[in-house]
Amino acid sequence: MVDPRDEEDPYIPSCGRHNINGVGFRINNPTSTQFGEWPNMCILFRGPETEGFNDFECGGSLIAPALVVTAAHCIRDENPEDTYMVRCGEWDTKGRDREPFPHQDRDVMKVTVHPSYNPENHENNIALVHLRQEFELAPHVDTVCLPNEAVGDEGYLADGCYASGWGKDDFGQYQTNLCSMYYKRRYVLLFFCS
């Protein structure tokens, strides 16, 4: 057994971490994020388990070690625990040899879609993905902060926010590297920016 005191700097989890310079190494590309820059970002994969869950479905944010929030429109199956898997700690979905720390995969136990989700207009477009096992929090895998009543309404009014994920480019192709964009606008409480 390893004595924890032998570790140089044990990781201390902290929600909302933004590793602006990345973790482990730095990429000199102004259009790309750094490895581990957004440790709360996860991928929801869809597909038969026998084929390795290799179909990218949506992004999500880790809100607790065994709980991910995603968009309800991403959940298309009646038995999502049989068809989805969550990966955190990923950065480049095609070049794993470029990542200094391994990603982590977890099986889905159940999914809770908002009871008032409307698929026609995407109102209440939110779902919780409950995992069978907790993620091991690390510099490249950590949680996002959630609103806290103690902060009050003014604490959530911002002049802007970041959106991150593996979205499509101008040609409709999914990006293999995690990307992010800063939106410099004032957002109100009803808008959830992730």
The model's pLDDT over 107-137, given as tens digits with 9 standing for 90+, comes to 999 999 999 999 999 999 999 999 999 999 9
**Looking at the 3D structure of the chain, how many domains does it have?**
1
- The Cα–Cα gap between 87 and 107 comes to 9
CATH number at residue 58: 2.40.10.10
Q: Which has more confidence, 157 or 150?
A: 150
Instruction: Kindly state the percentage of the chain with pLDDT values over 90.
Output: 35
- The Cα–Cα gap between 112 and 129 comes to 7
Q: What is the mean pLDDT of the chain?
A: 78
Is 41's pLDDT higher than 80?
A: yes
| Main-chain phi, psi angles of 77, to 5 degrees | -115, 150
Pair 146, 63: CB distance under 8 Å: yes
The model's pLDDT over 158-170, given as tens digits with 9 standing for 90+, comes to 666 777 776 666 6
Closest among 55, 67, 78 to 143, alpha carbons compared = 67
At 42 the pLDDT is: 94
| Domain contains 111 | yes
Other beta carbons less than 10 A from residue 25's beta carbon: 12
At 79 the pLDDT is: 73
| Domain contains 77 | yes
Residue 22's pLDDT band, with cuts at 50, 70 and 90, is confident
Cβ-Cβ contacts under 8 Å for 187 (sequence gap 6 or more): 157, 158, 160, 161, 193
Is 52's pLDDT higher than 50?
A: yes
At 146 the pLDDT is: 83
Determine the structural domain holding residue 75 and report its residue range.
10-150
At 113 the pLDDT is: 93
| Domain contains 96 | yes
| Domain contains 162 | no
At 168 the pLDDT is: 67
| Domain contains 175 | no
| Domain contains 165 | no
At 184 the pLDDT is: 66
pTM over 0.85: no
Of 66-70, 180-184, 185-189, which gets the smallest average pLDDT?
185-189
At 106 the pLDDT is: 94
CA angle 39, 66, 54 (to 5 degrees): 70
| Domain contains 139 | yes
Closest among 89, 178, 79 to 140, alpha carbons compared = 89
